[in-house]
Structure 1
Amino acid sequence: MNIMTNLKNQIIGKDIKIVFPEGNEPRVVQAASLLARENMLKPILLGSVEEVQAAAGQFSLEGCEIIDPKSYNQFEEMVAAFVEVRKGKATEEQARKLLLDVNYFGTMLVQMGLAQGLVSGAIHSTGDTVRPALQIIKTKPGISKTFGYFVMLRGEERYIFGDCAINPNPSSEDLASFACESAKVARMFSIDPKVALLSFSTKGSAKTEETAKVAKAMEILTEMNVDFDVDGELQFDAAFVPSVAATKAKDSKVAGHANVFVFPDLNSGNIGYK
């Protein structure tokens, strides 16, 4: 089953609304048009009707809702809700200005229960995309840090890469948390997680402060008795290539078969997914 079929089976018929703040970007509008046509969800495109229609080109907007933040009839209600959620960190005047930013506006639609999610970042930076969510929605209980994961497709094969977007130098505890959350993400996509904690060392082949961080993350996960296969530290070839794993980590349940890759820092993660 391919990833789109899997997603469609999970969400079809659930009346899910997803905000697409970048309603003036043709790629975004075309993707929203496809999702609406397949009855997978109801897209909410932000921008003026003229902007969105221009971006759509020949693609149909049937099934899509268009909201222009500048003329939104519940804008003052949103301003009040924003001031409340920021609790003294924003005045009404500041809120009105911020909510004209499509990412802040879209995130507030989610916060107010008017949508179930938001997809952005096609033409906005990671910071501009994530900042509103951190300020308004925040992390779920028990999670101290946000992290970014990517679903990587190779034919019919699916892999999870994380963190490739947010944390420059995560701690051992962070890496262990990322591994647990990445395993949950894998299961959302019907992937049986086999998690590799990546390093430039495999099973102590190098001993530095950087490799010790990854080894400690593995110790933490072992003590947690997690319900998924995990191993580290592993170099990428040992994690991914069976013939290399047979030489470098022959007793590992993960090496050579990993499908979830936890990178040790943002340098390697960002380079790796690109």
Structure 2
Amino acid sequence: MLFEYSLIQRAREKRVRIVLPEGSEPRILQAVDVLRRRDVADIVLLGDPVAIRAAASHVGVAIPEAGVEIIDPKSSPLRESFINDYYAMRKHKGATMDVASDRMLEVSYFGTMMVEKGLAGGMVSGSIHTTANTIRPAFEFIKTREGVGCVSSVFLMCLKHDVLVYGDCAVIANPTADQLAEIASSSADTALQFGIEPRVAMLSYSTGESGHGEDVERVREATAILKRKRPELLVEGPLQYDAAIDPAVAATKMPSSAVAGRATVFIFPDLNTGNNTYKAVQRSAGAVAIGPVLQGLRKPVNDLSRGCTVADIVNTVAITAIQAQDS
């Protein structure tokens, strides 16, 4: 609760405009009601204004006049310039004006273009759209920050006494050693951004030099790459999860490590492991899982789970606003 409160307080420090493409989704509208009452951010809802106001009325939410704007991509005066911009950015990939016109009818593309053109600080979507629908436009024309090789994600896992960072649990299915190092580097930066001291555990089924095999060697190589690129970071790997988080186990398996037993950033070897682990911890330990938080993009676009709650949406908008303040 303290961490969630701190997110809201930080988001309020500098006014940011966040675009929500799924404007008529009831959970989005309920979240907007909370966000405006807490004065977290200014909001842009995309969609048919009549449908949005009807949906708001149905769930008992009044859309305030101040701080919330409704834009219909079909009739917006922005549409023509967005079509031209998209065509200019994607014609080398074979895009035609007709393709550009169709893309700007899609709320995810329209919302992402608002972010790219500086008309919104960030975008949050995914409550009724797939991850691919949400992040594909960002991959096409927002692209990665300079020096970042890939977009990845983390979940901020809020446990009873700690907030831990889990990556990558949503984007890269089978990362190479270079990608694992990149995920770890970005995750450490994300941890710092949200006030968590990064102590990075590169997870595997083996700790230290005790195991061998293709999967553990990939983690070992990724650890070496990260240590070369970011010598200032506290990094250990390969580590088993228990050795990474439990001081008693760490004292036995890796007693001299500055990370083992006190890790805060956990980098999983693949998406299968990461996604299942975060959900297991969320459901079994009663953790609040905030995310996925996308990292590596020039401007913030974040994805929601289609099973997200109103609180999840509020937290994700607050995180996106904080990222936008720093971008």
- Superposition TM-score tier, normalisation by shorter sequence: over 0.9
TM-superposed CA distance for 1:156, in Å, is: 5.0
> Residue 264 in 1 paired to residue 266 in 2?
no
Q: Distance in 2 between matches of 1:60 and 1:246?
A: 56
Tell me what 1:64 maps to.
Answer: 68
Paired residues in the alignment total: 274
Letter of the aligned partner of 1:234 in structure 2?
L
Asked whether the equivalents of residues 2 and 156 of structure 1 are also in contact (C-alpha less than 8 Å), the reply is no
SS for the counterpart of 2:50 is helix
Letter of the aligned partner of 1:158 in structure 2?
V
Q: Which moved more, 1:197-206 or 1:110-119?
A: 197-206
Tell me what 2:223 maps to.
Answer: 218
- Segments of 4+ in structure 1 off by > 3 A? none
Tell me what 2:31 maps to.
Answer: 31
Letter of the aligned partner of 2:238 in structure 1?
E
Per-residue displacement from partner, 1:21-53 (whole Å, max 9, x unpaired)?
Answer: 111222222222212221111111111123323
Per-residue displacement from partner, 1:103-161 (whole Å, max 9, x unpaired)?
Answer: 11110111111001011122211111111100010111111211121112113521111
Asked whether the equivalents of residues 199 and 233 of structure 1 are also in contact (C-alpha less than 8 Å), the reply is yes
SS for the counterpart of 1:105 is helix
> Residue 12 in 1 paired to residue 7 in 2?
no
TM-score normalised over the length of structure 2:
0.79
Task: Choose the corresponding residue for 2:96, options 91, 94, 113.
Answer: 91
- Which has the bigger relative contact order, CA under 8 A and spacing at least 6? 2
Question: Which ranges of structure 1 fall in alignment gaps of 5 or more residues?
Answer: none
Q: Distance in 2 between matches of 1:238 and 1:55?
A: 49
Tell me what 1:101 maps to.
Answer: 106
Against the structure 1 CA distance between its residues 250 and 65, is the aligned structure 2 distance closer, same or farther, given a 3 Å change threshold?
same
Asked whether the equivalents of residues 245 and 255 of structure 1 are also in contact (C-alpha less than 8 Å), the reply is yes
Task: Choose the corresponding residue for 2:233, options 216, 228, 234.
Answer: 228
TM-score normalised over the length of structure 1:
0.94
Aligned CA RMSD, in angstroms, stands at: 1.7
Asked whether the equivalents of residues 24 and 52 of structure 1 are also in contact (C-alpha less than 8 Å), the reply is yes
Following superposition of structure 1 onto structure 2, how do residues 51-200 of structure 1 map, counting pairs within 5 Å?
51-56=51-56, 57-62=59-64, 63-88=67-92, 89-155=94-160, 157-200=162-205
Q: Distance in 2 between matches of 1:51 and 1:244?
A: 56
SS for the counterpart of 2:172 is coil
Question: Which ranges of structure 2 fall in alignment gaps of 5 or more residues?
Answer: 280-327
Identity %: 43
Q: Distance in 2 between matches of 1:112 and 1:208?
A: 47
